[in-house]
Every structure is written in C-alpha cells, then in structure tokens.
Structure 1
Amino acid sequence: MPFNTKLTRTLGIKIPVVQGGMQWVGYAELASAVSNAGGLGILTALTQPTPEDLRKEIRRCKTMTDKPFGVNITLLPAITPPDYGAYAQVVIEEGIKIVETAGNSPGPVIKQLKAVNTIILHKCTTIRHAQSAINLGVDFLSIDGFECAGHVGESDITNFILLSRARQSLKVPFIASGGFADGQGLAAALSLGAEGINMGTRFMCTVEAPIHINIKREICRASEHDTELVLRRWRNTSRLYKNKVSQQAVKVERESKSGKFEEVAPFVSGKRGREVFINGDPDYGVWTAGQVIGLINDIPTCDELVKRIERDAEATLSEVQSLIVPASKL
C-alpha cells in the first residue's frame, strides 16, 4: 500500500525513500531503478565532468524511467570550484523539478533554482544549519545524523537526538538521513516526525548500483565498526570505509607535527576513490560508507529492496499500533 506523507505527495512518489546523491555512484542506472521502484532516484551532478555531461546523463535517465527523479548539487571547498550555477542551469533547462542540495554557501544556487519553483531538499547536520536553509526557502530538510557516510559535520549528533530536535524546532518538513537501510528504520523515522528517509550506502549495495561487485560484497561482509573518521583535524570530517588507505590517512593526521593538509592529501584522493568502484579493490583508495553497513547483508535489486522496506515498515507500524489497548468500559 503506497504511503501518504508530505514527501510522497509533493514529489509524486509512492514510497517515502530517497536515494542520496553519491559521488561516482549517482548515475542513471541507479537513479532510474530507484524511481521505477517507487522511491526518488537522484543523479549526482558533480559525478559528471561538465554541465553538458550532466545534461546527457539527465536525458539518458529519462529514457530509463518516466517517474520523477532529481539531481544532487553538493557545494564543497575546492581550490578551483566547479561552475555550480552552470550545473543548476542545466537542471532547469532539462525540466528537473527536484534538487538535493548540500554543502557550504548554497544560497545562490538555491535562489537560482527556486526562481523556477524547483523543489529543494537540503541536507544538513545541525539544527542551526537547518534554520539557515529555511531562510533560503528550501522545501524539505534532509537531517543528516552522525552515523552517515561522507561529510558528517563537526557536531557528532546522532539521529535519535537530531530528528527529535528537528521535530521540536523546525517549521519545514524533514526527512531522515544517515543510518537507514530497512523498513523498521523507515517506521522509526516516521515515528520521530520525519516525512521519509534518505539512503546512500544501502543503495550502493544493490544490483543496479554502478560499482564493482567486490565492493558490494565488502559492504555485506563489513560490520558497523568498519568506518573511519578522517580529516577531523581540518574540520572537514568525513566518514569513510575503514581500509588500509583510510587508516594510513588517520595515522598521518594524528602524527603530523606541521598539520599541513598536503601531508594527508595523497591518501584522500577522490580520483583513487573512484577507481575503487571500477577495479573492485576495496583497499585501492578511500571511499565513503556509513555505519549502516552493519545492517546490510545482501545485494537485492532496487525494486526488491524498496518493496521490502515498504512491507516491513507497514508491518512494524501495525505491530506498534497493536500495542495500544483500548481502555475497558466500566
């Protein structure tokens, strides 16, 4: 039975599950599969080397699904920043109505997109940042707990507290991101006030995810202890899979006397991380993964996964409802 939340109504999807934008993962194969399954698939803009390449990927995705899908635009510190405005303009020109934004100083891009009534889901790791995003006019907030993969922020607040704080203080609907992999998690997020969930690592471990099967098997093998926090010293903390390279990066970070980023830079190369997904060697470079890897044990299709989440969420919510016993009439 399709869910009825603000997220499903606004986005035109059946199941309140969003596939997060992931660098080197958010291609048309995955986004279309998630959308066809009833969730919201998302292309990752900066996975494409130029705005025109993004245009081609959007058009390719349109040939693979007639369901809604979105585009992620993440703004991160860079020596030579990408032309975010040009990527946003391609999104507008191609008629994409849903954009996930994240990162630093998203105001100009959000303003550009909102001028044509684009629906904005903005990801943030603190309530303070969420309040700032509300002032920019975003439609949904993606509340990203410390459990998440990639950029975790610097506050270390897990979702059990962060989502409740969002419910108490935010006037804009929000979804839960970080630590979600199954229907029980969706039921919990809805119970805490969220309108749906965002999943990244879980969707990496699906048949359609365009990454090497060895990496998917590594995710299945891993436990919740197998992630590493890197770059905390430079207040750019990222949660990465614990492998030889990320452990070397942490060692350099802890032992460096100069504190120069150049010492750790070779170990956190995004280029080598991309090669991991191609060559299947989990130790070749750094790659992002959330603590949720401890909950992932199989490699289903996106359709199988989303249907399972729907079924298990319904069963969980029904089971919880059954715990309420009407008072006896005297």
Structure 2
Amino acid sequence: MAMESVSFNTPIIDLFGIRLPIVAGGLMWLSDANYVAAASRAGVMGFITAASFPELPALRAEIRRCRELCQGGSFGVNVSMLPKLVEGEQTQAVFAAIAEEGVRFVETSGRSPEAYLPMLHSAGIKVLHKVPNLRFAIKAAELGVDAVSIVGAECGGHPGLDLIGSFVQAAWAKSHITLPYLIGGGVGEGSQIAAALAMGASGVVIGTRFLVAEEIWAHADYKRQLIASQPTDTQLCMQSIRNTVRVLRNQTSEAVVALEASMAEVRIEDLLPLVSGKIGRNAYATGDWSQGLLSAGQSLAFVDRIEPVASIVSRLEQELLQALERLHRIAGEPRQSTGSFTTSIRKGL
C-alpha cells in the first residue's frame, strides 16, 4: 500500500495550515523562535511561550525573529494565565502585543480566556485553549474558542486534579463536543496519533517527546537524563495546593513531596523556595537536572536520542503511516486498492 501518498486533512490541519495533525505544545523557558520555527518548517504547529519573555519588547523581538525563521509557515504564541487574575499581571498587554505583531494563533491555558476572546477574535486571531479535563473543554467550547487541547494524566506539567487518562478523554470527548480537539499527555509515538484520530480527535499535542530536540536550547546533560529516564521517573507534586504538576523525579520533587506530607496545611509560600521557576531555568542552562521542578510526562518512554525537530517529526510520521497500514490490513482491504482508505484520511478521520 502506498502510504507515503496519504495526505491528512483534519480540522486542526485546516485551522493552522499545517501538514500533519501535530501541535508542539508550549514549553516554559524552552519554546523560543528557533524551536517553534523548526516545528513550523517540519509541517507541525508550534507556540512561543510568552512567559519565557516577560519583557514585552523581548517578546515582540522573538515573534519577529520566529516569523522570519518560519519562512511563511504557521506559528503562534502560548499565553499561560494564572488561575486567578492578580494585581500587576500583564496578560492584557501581552495579548495586545501579540495582536499588534500580527500573530494569527494563540494557545491559552490556566484560567478561562473568556475576557480576552472578543479582542483576539476581532484581531483575526484563532484561539486554542488547553484544558486537563473534558468538562473544561465543554465550557471553553461554549465560550467560543476555536479549538481545544485536552491533556490527560500522563502529561508533563499540569494534568489537573482529576487525573483522567488521555485514552479515556480522547474517546469521551467525541460524544460531548463538536469543536476540533487535540489529545495530549503521554503522546510520543506515531501509533498514538492514529489512535487519537480514530477516536475522534483532530490531532495531538506533544511536549515531552520534543524536549530532546537539537533546537531546544537546554543543556545536553539534561537531555541525556531524559533519554535515560523511564515513565516511572516522573512524579506528581503540589497536589496539596490544588496545582498538581508532573515533573522529572529529582531532589527537588522529592523534597516538595516530603514537605507536603509533613504539613497539615500547605501554602504556596511554603513551597516557593523549592518550586520557583528560576530554579528550573537554571537547571536547563547548567544541565543540573537534580534541581528544580522540570516538567516531564510519561512519554519519556519514547525519548531515545537527541536529534533535530524535523527528524523527530519524520519518525512520528512514519510510525503513524505504519499504524494506518496495520489497520488497513486488519480491515481486510485488498493491498492493491488504496483509494478508499486515502479518501477517508483526506476527509478527516
């Protein structure tokens, strides 16, 4: 079967104008123009993390650099909002800068984007909102976002409080929302993309699998530790303050869990000396992976080498096509007859 001739056309591909149904999710401190543009050139979607550039002139400069490096390809900006609006927060100004720079796509997470949707949509910006549970996806759809990412319990970063797995959420969402949706959390192999499409998703969001990309500026020692790690080498922290995060198991994560267990009532102020984002950024810079809360998901199972983003995407694509070939054989279709299968892909699974 000539699987290399298959062209994909899901709603997410149409929305972003990309070649494959893959979104490279925003990675705090790491998603810069080099990485995002590499994703774009490889035919997938990427987002600069606005929080990695807290000064607006620096964010504007990174957006402009990314646009040049993308060579006409799609890219966006990730805006991760705190659960509640706090005094001095720059979210409104960040969105205004993004709109002024002509960015066409935004990935939001944290609290509801409702207050900013009129401004973003009036600027022609499409909004992908990331949630950890189907119930939040339903709410986001009601608010009028353009697409949602639903990340399961396996994801690195924030999997929410309910810890529902990606496999369940992928199929569950199909009967509850008509909005295009992505599935993330533990996704790092092409066969999982095929499964997500078969269950009704328009694509997948991948984070951990891309952490070892050459274009990620983090130290090689950190990347080598990810390659040496297993899915069991992640740990859940900060559940005591209802801000659960899945990270690489290290001295800091163990200390956080121990502190949480030792106190009857934990406050964020008690954890800040351990969980400050600056500690994690320093770990990326120095390669000392023992310090800081370093987001990592269970797709560490598939992290096996340092290579360019384009090579990772190519491997995912080949694995996806191989999975579709297996399904084709299971369905008992004649190998010489490829038309019906290819057509079904082009219409969107």
Q: Which moved more, 1:101-110 or 1:151-160?
A: 101-110
Residue 320 of structure 2 aligns with which residue?
A: 313
Query: What RMSD, in angstroms, separates the aligned Cα atoms of the two structures?
Result: 1.5
Residue number among 229, 239, 256 corresponding to 2:236 in the alignment? 229
Determine the C-alpha separation between the residues in 2 that align with 1:110 and 1:143: 19
Identity of matched residues, %: 35
C-alpha deviation, 1:116, in angstroms: 2.0
Q: Which has the higher contact order (CA 8 A, sep 6+)?
A: 2
State the Cα deviation string for residues 201-243 of structure 1 (Å, max 9, x = none): 1111111111111111111000000111111011111111100
Matched ranges for 1:229-268 at <5 A: 229-268=236-275
Q: Which moved more, 1:81-90 or 1:27-36?
A: 81-90
Residue 132 of structure 2 aligns with which residue?
A: 125
Residue number among 75, 78, 82 corresponding to 2:89 in the alignment? 82
Q: Alpha carbons of 1:258 and 1:31: their partners in 2 closer, same or farther (altered >3 Å)?
A: same
Residue 275 of structure 1 aligns with which residue?
A: 282
Matched ranges for 1:1-330 at <5 A: 1=5, 2-66=7-71, 67-77=73-83, 80=87, 82-325=89-332
**Structure 2 portions without partners, runs of 5+:** 335-349
The one-letter amino acid paired with 1:284 is: Q
SS in 2 for 1:228: strand
State the Cα deviation string for residues 114-170 of structure 1 (Å, max 9, x = none): 122311111111121111101221111101111111111101100111111111111
State the Cα deviation string for residues 82-119 of structure 1 (Å, max 9, x = none): 31111111111111111111111321123321122311
SS in 1 for 2:70: coil
State the Cα deviation string for residues 40-65 of structure 1 (Å, max 9, x = none): 12100111012222111001112211
Determine the C-alpha separation between the residues in 1 that align with 2:46 and 2:96: 20
- Contact map agreement 1:207 1:300 (CA 8 A) in 2: yes
- Contact map agreement 2:212 2:306 (CA 8 A) in 1: yes
- Contact map agreement 1:268 1:285 (CA 8 A) in 2: yes
- Contact map agreement 1:111 1:136 (CA 8 A) in 2: no
SS in 2 for 1:150: coil
**Structure 1 portions without partners, runs of 5+:** none
Determine the C-alpha separation between the residues in 2 that align with 1:120 and 1:159: 22
Q: Alpha carbons of 1:7 and 1:252: their partners in 2 closer, same or farther (altered >3 Å)?
A: same
The one-letter amino acid paired with 2:79 is: I
C-alpha deviation, 1:80, in angstroms: 4.8
- TM-score normalised to structure 2 length: 0.90
Determine the C-alpha separation between the residues in 2 that align with 1:285 and 1:294: 21
Number of residue pairs the alignment of both structures matches: 327
The one-letter amino acid paired with 1:104 is: R
SS in 1 for 2:313: helix
